[in-house]
Amino acid sequence: MKKLHVAALVALASLALAAVAIAQTYPTPTVTLKGSITPTKVGKKKKPKFSKLRLTATNSAESRTTASRITLLLPKGVVASAKGFPFCPATEIQAEGTQGCPKGSKVGAGTATAAFGPSLSKINFKVTLYAASAKELTVYLEAIGLPIKRAIRGLITPAGTPYGTKVTIDIPQDLQKQLGAFVYLTGIDTTIGAQVTKTVRRKRVKYSIISTISCPADKKHRYEVRIDYVDNPNPPAVRQGQAGATSACKK
């Protein structure tokens, strides 16, 4: 009986080793980030300055990591708000397309890249950003050459020091997998910056999606990107990739 137990344990160990051999391991993801705000000269709390924000992030294709959430943390002296803009929520775009979005609701644009399948086939996306509510963006993705169109919510919420606000984008499961293969996020390059003018109590008021109100003592704006990963189907080397960046500013 003891020999049978030993044989069973040996068999189980062999199966476990075989399973480990089958489960492929990939490199730990490398994440990079660049951020900039123009103009570099900032406004004041009582007189915010209209600005444009550009963020460029990459995630190594070789890591074959599938993103479930992207969090962009913005500098403390930068205000992100869609207050005063016409709104075009993700639910409306997903149901009716962008043709129904009101004039002035577009607040940014850019590109994104991904790869999928064993050969890391590349997917290029056109990205358009719309105001969805005072504290929400719509991120509209259109795959170039593929019938993939998707509107995603980007929530604007407060962030802890040394940041001011953060934009959180949850990736739907239908975008995590396409054509029977997992999708690997590889890059985002987006610029956000728009302004509208409205009449409020008989006065013309300007609203900016991005504005600056201060610059830190060391004259550097700070940014960070966090990318959460899911099993695809195996657990990734890490659950979250991170990268930070700075850009110059002056008072």
Q: Using H for helix, E for strand and C for coil, what is the string for the chain?
A: CHHHHHHHHHHHHHHHHHHHHHCCCCCCCCEEEEEEEECCECCECCECEECEEEEEEEECHHHCCEEEEEEEEEECCEEECCCCCCCCCHHHHHHHCHHHCCCCCEEEEEEEEEEECCCCEEEEEEEEEEEEECCEEEEEEEECCCCCEEEEEEEEEECCCCEEEEEEEECCHHHHEECCEEEEEEEEEEEECCEEEEEECCEEEEEECEEECCCCCCCEEEEEEEEEEECCCCCCCCCEEEEEEEEECEC
Residue 2 lies in a domain: no
- Quick check: is 94 in a domain? yes
User: Does 44 fall in a domain?
Assistant: yes
pLDDT in tens, the chain (251 residues): 444 444 443 343 343 333 433 445 799 999 999 999 999 999 999 999 999 999 999 999 999 999 999 999 999 999 999 999 999 999 999 999 999 999 999 999 999 999 998 899 999 999 999 999 999 999 999 999 999 999 999 999 999 888 999 999 999 999 999 878 899 999 999 999 999 998 877 888 899 999 999 999 999 999 999 999 999 999 999 999 999 999 999 99
Does residue 20 lie within any of the structural domains? Answer: no
In angstroms, what CA-CA distances link 161 with 45, 165, 216, 220, 224? 18, 9, 12, 14, 12
Residue 13 lies in a domain: no
Task: For residue 124, tell me if it sits in a domain.
Answer: yes
Expressed as residue numbers, the domain containing 136 is 27-248
State the pTM of this model. Answer: 0.88
For position 186, what pLDDT does the model report? Answer: 97
The verdict on residue 183 lying in a domain is yes
Query: What is the number of structural domains in the chain?
Result: 1
List the CATH number of the domain containing 147: 2.60.40
How much is the pLDDT for 178? 82
pLDDT at 205: 87
Domain presence at residue 15: no
